[in-house]
Every structure is written in structure tokens, then in C-alpha cells.
Structure 1
Amino acid sequence: MSISQQIGKLKKRVQKRLKLPRLFILFLGAIAVLCFWVIPAFTQQPIPIKVFIQSLEGTQWEPIVRDFNQTHDNIRLEVIKGPNDTNLVEDLYTSAFLLGDSPYDLVYMDIVWVPKFAAAGWLMPLSDRISEAELSEYLQGDIEGGTYEDQLYRMPFRSDGGMLYYRTDMLEQAGLQPPKTFEELIQTAKTVKEKNIAEIGYVWQGKQYEGLSAMFVEILEGQGGYWVNPDTKEVGLDGKEAIQALEFLRDTIKTGISPEGVTTYAEEETRLLFESGKTLFLRNWPYVYPLASKSEIAGKFAIKPMIHSPGENSGACLGGWGPGISSSTKHPDEAWEVIEYLSQPDVQRKFFLETGYVPARKSLFTDPTLVAQYSYYPNLLDVVENSALRPPIAQYAQASDILQRYLSAAITGSLSPQQAMQAAARETRNLLGR
């Protein structure tokens, strides 16, 4: 029975049984219309979908949030801003889940959080919500980084990858080409320093923190080694390739192409040294490019994939961020609707134009609008397609802490590379129950 039929029937029953005046019957009809139609229209509120994001990027999301909320009457996207420290954001997400009934519907994740969060049961699998054809539009490494035990838990949004920056003018002055191997980098840096063209040959992230592990993944890949096999949990840190990778880092300091202070440098210290005009080579992330393009070395540098041993592959440690759905949300379909919106090429293009972050969608690297503003994007695609993942294991945070401590001990001279890698391998095997 329709609502109008119900109202008509109500009128007749009241008129027949109570014999009320016609005016009062009309009044009752108006009340019924108000109850059935008007009040629900005014009281129905959009479903809030909340996500916790670092403060800086939360501010950068404001145009996305505004546009989404203007075009979706049924959902209100809300961004809660947290500290800019990635580790603190992870800790706060973890605390919210451990306390139970997390207030967040979406989880905006660093790529290395996925195994931990998925293994703990804090995320909903997304594989049934998206096709293989749609996933093929993204960098393969970003898809693999969002996958745990054959289930997708994080959709790629923005990517990241380590690379080698070099001064084109310095190499040209010295009559040299960009290096491809570890040995070529050391020899090239020594030559340019000896010619007094550069004060510093090579800077990298040697501070004891996550950036040290990320950087080492690239050197390890370039030597043909591995950290942890995620399928078998075999540990390769005491293999000859891993020891050689650490010996290379130690040699950059011993030969003088890297300053001793490199053992205290994070991303920003190395970026500033490169932008100062004194440094030939820099290992860092893509965020440096637009900043360096506004410095005194603008137009005097280029990027290339990381160096490697002859016959081995270059590897860019893959970073990046993307959303997943909290297993505690009461609105998974609405949360997925937000993810679908974030995945639209037009939405992403607008975001990357404003921020200069690295896309995860492959087509955007050659998008004419983006390339007009960021001419290095096509070269960047070559870098990030040769990706090297940090081990996608639930105990990643603990494994990284072990590696950082022993890498730091070796590059500061407290232990030999062989001693450090043997100890790191032993502790990692204990961690993984091997």
C-alpha cells in the first residue's frame, strides 16, 4: 500500500469512528504528510567517514574533501589531522585499534604498515571490490605493497621511490658519464673531488632510523641480495651480497667521498647539502626534485635509477601512501565510495598538480598537464618501475629496528660489516622463529 493510500485510509477511519469535523481531518492529514515525507527529508544526515592523516597532507587534502562533500549528499568525508611524524601517526592508529572500536573508517597508510595492520585484523580486504584490469592501471610495486597473503588491503594513491641525483654540470666539466655501478660511483666521485669540482662526492641517509633501512634495501637489491623472503621467512642478511652492500656504504666513508657526518644525516640534511652546490651525488626521494629546481642548482642536475653491481638489477625502495578500510567501520560501502572517488584520474591529477607528489597510476607519469609542470615525471616512471620492497611481514617494524642498529654499528666503525650482518641475521631469525 502506498503512503497516499495509507493517509486516505487513516482519514476515513478517523472520520467514520470519531465523526470529527472535516477541518480536523485535514489537520490530521497534514500531520501525516509531515511525518511520512517532510521530517525524514530534513532529519536524514550524511554518513560521516573519518580518516586520520598527517597534518601537512591533511591540509593538502582540503580541496579533495571540499569537492567530495559538495558532490556526495549521502556521505561527509572528515579528515582528522595528526602529527607530521610518520611513526607517531602509526602509533596513534595502533592505539586506536588496540583500544577497540577505532573511530576511523578509512586508514591512510604508509606502504610498510600494511602487513602489520592486515595481520592484526584491523583492515578489510579489498580484492572483491576491484578488478584485475583496474589494478593493472597502477604501478605493480604499489599493488604488491598493498597486498598481504594474496589479499589487497590498501589502494595506491601516491607512490615514492629512491633514486640517484647527480650534477650534470660537474660531470660534464670532468668529462665523465653518470655511473651505473657501485665501483663507477666511487671512482667518479673520487675523480671529481680530486679535480676540485665538488667538495663532497656522495651523500645518503645514514642516521639510525627507518630511512636507513629504506636506503639499504636499494643497495642490497643492487648487489643481488635480500633481507627477508616473505614466503619462506628465510633471512639473507648474512649472505655475501648483503655484506658487500654494507661494505660499499662503509667504503664511501673510508675513501672520503662521503663525509663522516653522513652517519647522522636524514633526508633533509642530504637535500640541503646537494642544493648547496657542493655535492656531486645524492640518494634521496622524488620530493627533492621540485625543491632543488628552485635552488641555486636549478637546471644543473638530473635523476637516474640507483646504481648496481654488473649483471644485477637496480632497485628503488618503494614508498608511498594509500587508503584502506578499517575492519571496525560500520559503513564499509560508504568508505569504499570515498576510495573510488580518490582513485579517479581527474581527482589525482588535480592533487598532484598542487603537491608535486609521485603518482601511483601509471598513465599520470606521461599526462600532458602534469608533464607540463613536472617535466621529470617520465624519467621518474623508469625509476619507480624498478622497485624494491621492504619485506611485507607482520613483524616488519621489529625487523627494521634490528637492521638499523647493526647498519649503524658498521658504518660508524663499531663492528665490521661481516660482524654486523651476522648479528642482524641472527636476531632477525629469532624474531621470525627461524
Structure 2
Amino acid sequence: MHLKTALRGATALSVCIAAGAATAQDTTLTIATVNNGDMIRMQALADDFTSRHPGIALDWVVLEENVLRQRVTTDIATQGGQYDVMTIGTYEVPIWAAQGWLEPLSDLPAEYDVDDLTPSIRTALTYEDTLYAAPFYGESAMVMYRTDLAQEAGVEIPAEPTWQDIMAAAEAMTDRENEVYGICLRGKPGWGENMAFLTAMANSYGARWFDMDWQPQFDSSEWQAAVSDYITMMTEYGPPGASANGFNENLALFQQGKCGMWIDATVAASFVTNPDDSAVADSVGYAMFPSKDGVDNRGNWLWAWSLAIPESSDAKDAAKQFVAWATGRDYTQLVADRDGWRAAPPGTRTSLYQNADYQAAAPFAEMTLKAMEAATPDTPSAQETPYTGGQVVAIPEFQGIGTAVGQVFSAALAGQMDADQALQNAQQLTQREMQRAGYIQ
């Protein structure tokens, strides 16, 4: 039995969506995706695809972010063939393409209009001049804040704030008696969870993961300042249990009115301003990712959740039809028709930001685009680095190292150790793993 067939029946999270009863001639695509709001919307709209392609059925595997990354990485590295379409990020695409693990997307139909893809995102998903993934949505990071709370607290958050501005505002807006916390930040461990935020924050403090000889830099004054400020903000002005909070948990807290500020992915803006889900939809302001006094680097990250086809898939043609549907212009219009232009997947197409309807419906559009254009993944730190990647280090070993370091910093946030001990542990484990990988002696 093919591994894919065996595992489909075993996963409790699979939901089969088909236009009609499947026949022996039908193709079934197994799609692994993350449980973010935009992907859940894609699943809900999939009847549009299956009605257009009656010979293709869809089998969904929807997973929490850390679990998704673990499973798709294991499957593609072992050529397991469990999935036909994978949701992956800008970190994985060039690394996996270099390994020959991904199917090229050089033959998408002309109406797909590859040239309309946002240049920075298209470049990030390209390896040796070939596109290997299609972006579902693109993002950077920014500050989202409660304008009503800021006004009540008598604080002003500038369009380009410093971390000093943020800490002062967090203190002023905290009201623990009424369960309102000045700031919400990622604490859940994972290379793409707390370390995505902490790496970007450290970059803005002038820190770097490695020097030019690949020596870890967690013993630097820049990392010390960044981690100390992070723990101070979260323990004094953040919500309880913050070490378990990732993107989705903080999104829920902000929507419930429990966060004065939330610094995270720009894609969240459409959800915090949706009056059907957010109690504070009419009171949200935006600002650039903070900078540190004296450091010429705002730490903006650049990311895209994208759809890619593993080389091990036995349904590549059908998978390409799905990828073209889910990331094409018609899908954007489909979302707009059902949920309004505010909900359109952001950051991937130049034409979206030239659309007057989108600009009118999405007050966050200008700041989102500004944040993405400010991202400099090729030069992530104010100091020279031997690697690229804004909120990641673009080497294969980063998944393991980043997750291990994330567990250390999450433990520090939970009060199991102080910042100094956490940094010392991060330095030691990173040095050990880099020695094992052969980067250093």
C-alpha cells in the first residue's frame, strides 16, 4: 500500500471535499496546511475549485504551525509521498529546491500572471531563476495597537516607534485588574514561533546569530539587551501564561480586547479589524516594527506562506491546477466577493495594492506594504553576517537549532531561569550544534 493511502485514513484532521462521489478515475490531492485564518478560509472556499475540476477531490490535513513544519519536513526529507501540496515558507523553499525536493512551477498558465507577484516575495520563492512555490499570502511585521486605550492612557505611539516608546506605552496601558495587558508577544517555543519574533527584535537591537566565522553571538551585549527587555515587557506588562502563546493565541487575546499592543505579522490586520470576530475592530492603529535608539535597523521580517508541490507527489499536474487556483487573481476576487476586500490575501500581488476597492476597505494596506518594502532579508543585522534571512537564518540546521533555542527562551519567560542563564544555554547549545554540522571547529 502507498504510504499516502495508509496515512489518509489515519489522520483525524483530514476533511474530504469533493464535487461528487469519487470514481476510480478521480485524483485525490492531499493538502497539508496551517490552521491560520487565511488557510481555513481557503478550505471553506474549495468547493469553487472542485466544481471547476470535477475529477479532483481534496483531502485536507490542517495542523498547528509547529506540527505542520515537523510533519512536512519529515515527509519531504524521506520522500514519503504523503502530501501532494504543502504549505511552506520562504525559509524552506530555496533550501528544499536545492535538494531537488520540490517540483518547479515554471509552467503555470499564462493567465496566472507570474509577473504580478510582489517582486520581493517572488525572489524569495525562486531558486536558480525558477519559481518553486506560489505565495498564498505575504507579510512583514508591525505594531497593532488599541487607539482607544492609548488615548485613555495619554500615550502616543509614533508611526516609527522605538522600543523605548513601546515599553512606555505598554506600562501605561496595562490594567491587570480588568485583564488588559499592555503588550502581547509570542512566547510559544519554535523556530517560526517565538524565535521568529525574537530574532527580528534582536536584529533591531543590532544583534546577529553568528559572526563571520559562524561563531554564535548570544553572549553579546545586543542579545543581552534584547532578551532582557523582552522578558521585562512580558512579565510586567504581558498576559499570564505568555510562554504558551503563539500567533493564534495572541490574535484571540487582541480580538477580545485584552492587548494594548501586539507586535506580529502584518497579515493579522484583516482579522483584528473584522467586526464579526474582533471586539476592537474600530479601534486599531498601526505602526512600523520598533527600532532601538542608535541602531539603523528596524528588524522587519519578510515571509510568505506558500503552496509547493513535493517531487514525491504522484499527482503533480492536478496539484499545479490547485496551486494556480488558490494563489491566483480569481481566488482573490472570490474572497472579496464572499468576505469583502479587507479579507483578501495580502502581500503577494502588486495589483492588489493598485486596487482602489482594496485600499478603501483595508486601512492597514499602506502600512503592510511599507513594512514589506522595508524588509532587508539579505542584510538582517546592522552587523555583517555570513547568512541571510530576516527572522530566520537561512541554513538547513536552523530548524533544529532555532527550535532548541526557542525552548530555552520560552522557559526563561516562564520563570524557570533568568535572561543571563537562558543566553548562556543558547550560546552553548548553538555552538555545539554548529560544531557537529561542521561550520566551526
- Shorter-chain TM-score category? 0.7 to 0.9
1:168 aligned partner: 147
Residues 119, 394 of structure 1: 8 Å contact kept? no
Provide the C-alpha distance between the structure 2 equivalents of 1:276 and 1:341, rounded to a whole number of angstroms: 34
Shift of 1:404: 0.6
Residues 104, 130 of structure 2: 8 Å contact kept? yes
Distance 1:361 1:389, change over 3 A: farther
**Which deviates the most, 368-377 or 157-166?**
368-377
Tell me the TM-score normalized by structure 1.
Answer: 0.73
2:164 aligned partner: 183
One-letter code aligned to 1:187: A
Provide the C-alpha distance between the structure 2 equivalents of 1:281 and 1:119, rounded to a whole number of angstroms: 39
One-letter code aligned to 2:393: P
Residues 30, 61 of structure 2: 8 Å contact kept? no
1:429 aligned partner: 431
5+ residue gaps, structure 1, are 1-44
1:14 aligned partner: none
| 1:380 maps onto 2:368 in alignment | yes
Q: Which residue of 200, 205, 212 maps to 2:186?
A: 205
1:267 aligned partner: 247
One-letter code aligned to 1:176: V
Give the secondary structure class of the aligned counterpart of 1:202. Answer: coil
1:239 aligned partner: 220
One-letter code aligned to 1:393: I
Shift of 1:318: 3.6
2:404 aligned partner: 402
Provide the C-alpha distance between the structure 1 equivalents of 2:274 and 2:46, rounded to a whole number of angstroms: 30
Provide the C-alpha distance between the structure 2 equivalents of 1:300 and 1:189, rounded to a whole number of angstroms: 16
2:310 aligned partner: 326
**Which deviates the most, 355-364 or 61-70?**
61-70
Provide the C-alpha distance between the structure 1 equivalents of 2:107 and 2:219, rounded to a whole number of angstroms: 40
Distance 1:200 1:184, change over 3 A: same
1:127-181 deviation digits (Å, cap 9, x = unpaired): 69799xx766434553354346776432222123332111212333444320511
Give the secondary structure class of the aligned counterpart of 2:193. Answer: helix
Give the secondary structure class of the aligned counterpart of 1:159. Answer: strand
1:159 aligned partner: 138
5+ residue gaps, structure 2, are 1-23, 376-389
Shift of 1:398: 0.3
Residues 29, 84 of structure 2: 8 Å contact kept? yes
One-letter code aligned to 1:153: Y
Distance 1:125 1:426, change over 3 A: farther
**Which deviates the most, 316-325 or 139-148?**
139-148
- 1:213-252 correspondence to structure 2 within 5 Å: 213-227=195-209, 233=214, 235-252=216-233
Q: How many residues align?
A: 385
- 1:305-316 correspondence to structure 2 within 5 Å: 305-310=288-293, 311-316=295-300
Residues 157, 323 of structure 1: 8 Å contact kept? yes
Provide the C-alpha distance between the structure 1 equivalents of 2:289 and 2:78, rounded to a whole number of angstroms: 42
Rg larger in 1 or in 2? 1
Residues 166, 301 of structure 1: 8 Å contact kept? yes
Indicate the structure with greater helix content. 1
1:323-344 deviation digits (Å, cap 9, x = unpaired): 2232234565665455445443
Q: Which residue of 355, 362, 365 maps to 2:353?
A: 365
1:296 aligned partner: 279
Residues 162, 284 of structure 1: 8 Å contact kept? yes
Shift of 1:72: 6.2
Give the secondary structure class of the aligned counterpart of 1:221. Answer: helix
Shift of 1:416: 4.0
Q: Percent identity?
A: 21
Distance 1:130 1:241, change over 3 A: farther
Provide the C-alpha distance between the structure 1 equivalents of 2:48 and 2:257, rounded to a whole number of angstroms: 41
Q: Which residue of 256, 261, 282 maps to 2:262?
A: 282
1:393 aligned partner: 395
Provide the C-alpha distance between the structure 1 equivalents of 2:373 and 2:396, rounded to a whole number of angstroms: 25
One-letter code aligned to 1:284: D
